[in-house]
Amino acid sequence: YLRGKMVSGPTAATSFDTQHEDMIHDLQVDYYGKRLATCSSDRIIKIFDVGPEPGQQTLSANIAGHDGPVWQVAWAHPKFGSILASCSYDRKVCVWKEFQPRQWSKVYEYARHASSVNAISFAPHELGLKLACASADGSLSILTWKGSQDNEWDERQVPGAHQIGCNAVTWAPAAYPASPPPPRGGRGGG
């Protein structure tokens, strides 16, 4: 509510034909809500430009580069440019960059997991361009862009982070060291 009036987002859901040839596993809207990325078992990532009204979406790019079903996609914060990451059953994490409108290129590939990479998540932009990756092999990886060339990333892996694999990963919101801790309250002195 804002001054007694209810504030809400879009009021109607919409559906459209993504033209994927197999099951869709994930979709993500970019920071500005103007682009939609989808991924599928057909090994393709599709980017759609999304208009303000339901039904206003236009296919702007097909991205191919995985050798297995693509499980998840993630948009980086726009301060880093138009960057999208993807992970797949093929054990790879790919980072894609749009150099020209509608022209995406793979700028980085990480292929050091022993099994399917099931989930990815970009860190809050305050921490820099970092990508967490979770794999069915039980390990987690943190990929950090070094800040010079698009294909130069620091790779850190935590082997055995989970005994039976990992299906999800996310980051906590960024907090600065000088930030006061959140108030403690509630019963039990918590």
Q: What are the backbone angles phi and psi of residue 69, rounded to the nearest 5°?
A: -55, 140
Q: How confident is the model at residue 9 (pLDDT cuts 50, 70, 90)?
A: very low
> What's the one-letter identity of residue 28?
Q
pLDDT at 6 over 60: no
Percent of the chain surpassing pLDDT 90: 76
Cross-strand partners of 144: 130, 154
Going by CATH, does the domain composed of 24-172 fall within 3.40.50.1370?
Answer: no
Query: Average pLDDT, whole number, for the chain?
Result: 89
Residue 32 DSSP class? T
Annotated domain spans of the chain: 24-172
> What is the pLDDT averaged over residues 91-99?
98
pLDDT at 188 over 60: no
Q: What is the pLDDT of residues 18-53, one digit of tens each?
A: 999 999 999 999 999 999 999 999 999 999 999 887
Q: What are the backbone angles phi and psi of residue 126, rounded to the nearest 5°?
A: -65, -20
Q: What are the backbone angles phi and psi of residue 100, rounded to the nearest 5°?
A: -130, 155
Rounded CA gap, 108 and 148, in Å? Answer: 13
pTM: 0.85
